[in-house]
Structure 1
Amino acid sequence: MISFFTHHKSGSSALVSFLGQLSDGSGQPLFLSHLGSTRPPTGDGICCLSNAQYDVVKGHVPGFALHLVRNPLNIVQSAYYSHRHTHGLDGWPQLAAHREMLKSVDKPRGMLMTATFCNSEEFYPETAGPLYAIRNWNYDDPAIKTLRIEDGFDKFTDFLRAALGEASGSLKWPDQANFTFEKLSVGRRAGEIDDGSHYRSGDVDAWKAELPAEVVRYVVSECREVLERFYPESLKWAQDHF
């Protein structure tokens, strides 16, 4: 079993699509779950937990595992637009209620509400939010290798195959040209914004222009250890400007 652990607004939609093609092409079963309460199954195949929680998966990794994280500052700015405009509501009563509140407030207030929602334990059924999950992850667990998803944008095949190394075995990898931002957004280049698209911007530094100071300070306070470890350049920028 090869397991991929990721979180909401961390490239999870593109990753699920990519792993679906990897599974089909390689003749390997794909196990997929959005519930944070789910553990990887035993046996052969590929597993993707798109709202993984460390306390649930620890000690239950039957093979090689990759954990993919995104800059928590960009999670919030991306989630604001997705939660307000584009994300489906089926089976997600928490988001339905949250969307109504987002539509009743201005953008700065809405972004702060988004940050606290993403940091809550009651985010999705049986699932905590992405900020809560990444700040409560044990990054020193030798059974799970953590990577920044930003380092794999537009090159999923090379990125994941290199990370898996010998564990990739005889997998038949998808054409990574099908998973560039331009392809996923149907023609836009990274930085070209469409508020009505699930793939809104593709700019890894969009948070710098989007997030109000209050929101940046909140995320830095809550996720400082993650920023120090994986995004020190973002932490320094935030400290210098706010």
Structure 2
Amino acid sequence: MTAPPQLLAYFGHHKCASTWVHNIVGTLCDDAGWRCAYLANEGMFEGDLPGWLAAHPTEFLCYVNADMTQLEPLRGSYRGFHMVRDPRDILASAYFSHKHSHQTGAWPELVQHRARLQQLDAHEGLMLELDFNADVFAEMERWDFEQPDVLELKMERFTTDPLNQWLAVFRHLGMADEGHYGKRQAAAFLWKSCLNVAHRHAHLPTRRQLASLPMERCLGVVHDHRFETKTGGRGEGTEDVKSHYRKGVAGDWVNHFSAEHVAEFKRRYNGLLLKLGYEQDADWGLPGGRA
């Protein structure tokens, strides 16, 4: 049995492609025989992440609403990557997702919030999202962007150039073997991955943990999860407001914000926007001075 030398991790935030990332990571963990934990909120680990990990051996952690407060006791024990997104696009995406498509099973607060959104027009709904996503932006504000073992990424580059961005992730994590895989090595990998998938999904005692995966397989899984595949052939930029994969393009906030939204966003979250580098000038506004 072999495994990564330290905990591997993905750290995300709400509406920052976490479902897409987890699907890719989960598929690769199945192949490798690694245990992948998907944690979306403190309730899933009772507010004690170190204790939960000690009780639930894990090779890859997907902490999709990452709070630095919970990770402080674990510093130095993980190697991972962290993704952010333009907070204005988070708001626009969250509005449609919360109104139409996001699952409510593990998020009872969303049921009441969705009911309110259904009663409001888009302008007032976006205003409501400024309040509802306050915790998301607070977690992004608290994040330590100087961790040496954490690769910092922006969703905008990740989704427009996924193969190269994932290549950087796999290299940073050390989870991919870039050597040549001949027929014998490929057959051995396929056999072990089949045993691992059987262990994961049929609970058979067949796990054969791998230390790494062929890079060809890693990038192949990324290709399998491209936007068009997830949407049944709909291309990026073509909108379906009721789909979890609504549009797939960056900068869509400009199509939904009014001058009033801009003013309120700047009052509450302008510091975060500048910190993340999505604007250089605090006095930004709508393109062309549009009201």
The question of a shared fold, defined as TM-score above 0.5 by the shorter chain, is answered with: yes
The answer as to whether partners of 1:83 and 1:99 remain within 8 angstroms in 2 is yes
Moved more, 159-168 or 5-14: 159-168
- Structural mapping, 1:89-128, within 5 Å: 89-119=104-134
- Structural mapping, 1:1-150, within 5 Å: 1-36=7-42, 37=47, 39=49, 41=53, 45-61=59-75, 62-119=77-134, 129-150=135-156
Q: Report the TM-score, using the length of structure 1 for normalisation.
A: 0.85
Indicate whether 1:195 and 2:265 are aligned: no
Count residues with an aligned counterpart. 233
Shift of 1:142: 3.5
Shift of 1:220: 3.2
2:162 and 2:273 mapped to 1: Cα distance? 23
Moved more, 201-210 or 25-34: 25-34
* Inter-CA distance 171–104: structure 2 relative to 1 (3 Å threshold): same
Partner residue, 2:158: 152
Partner residue, 1:126: none
- Structural mapping, 1:155-170, within 5 Å: 155-169=161-175, 170=212
* Inter-CA distance 38–17: structure 2 relative to 1 (3 Å threshold): farther
Q: Which of residues 278, 281, 285 in structure 2 aligns to 1:231? A: 278
Instruction: Specify the structure having the higher radius of gyration (Cα).
Output: 2
Letter in 1 for 2:89: N
1:164 and 1:105 mapped to 2: Cα distance? 43
Q: Report the TM-score, using the length of structure 2 for normalisation.
A: 0.72
CA distances 1:189-213 after superposition (whole Å, capped 9, x unpaired) = 1110111211111111111111222
Letter in 2 for 1:195: V
Q: Which of residues 225, 230, 252 in structure 2 aligns to 1:206? A: 252
2:227 and 2:123 mapped to 1: Cα distance? 27
The answer as to whether partners of 1:4 and 1:67 remain within 8 angstroms in 2 is yes
Shift of 1:111: 0.5
* Inter-CA distance 64–116: structure 2 relative to 1 (3 Å threshold): same
Q: Which of residues 216, 225, 228 in structure 2 aligns to 1:182? A: 228
The answer as to whether partners of 1:154 and 1:181 remain within 8 angstroms in 2 is no
1:161 and 1:64 mapped to 2: Cα distance? 16
Partner residue, 1:123: none
What secondary structure, in the 3-state scheme, does the structure 1 residue paired with 2:62 have?
strand
* Inter-CA distance 164–236: structure 2 relative to 1 (3 Å threshold): farther
What secondary structure, in the 3-state scheme, does the structure 2 residue paired with 1:32 have?
strand
The answer as to whether partners of 2:99 and 2:114 remain within 8 angstroms in 1 is yes
The answer as to whether partners of 1:22 and 1:174 remain within 8 angstroms in 2 is no
2:32 and 2:219 mapped to 1: Cα distance? 10
Unaligned runs of 5+ in 2: 1-6, 176-211
1:91 and 1:15 mapped to 2: Cα distance? 19
Unaligned runs of 5+ in 1: 120-128
Moved more, 12-21 or 24-33: 24-33
The answer as to whether partners of 1:157 and 1:174 remain within 8 angstroms in 2 is yes
The answer as to whether partners of 2:37 and 2:58 remain within 8 angstroms in 1 is no
Aligned identity (percent) is: 25
Moved more, 50-59 or 197-206: 50-59
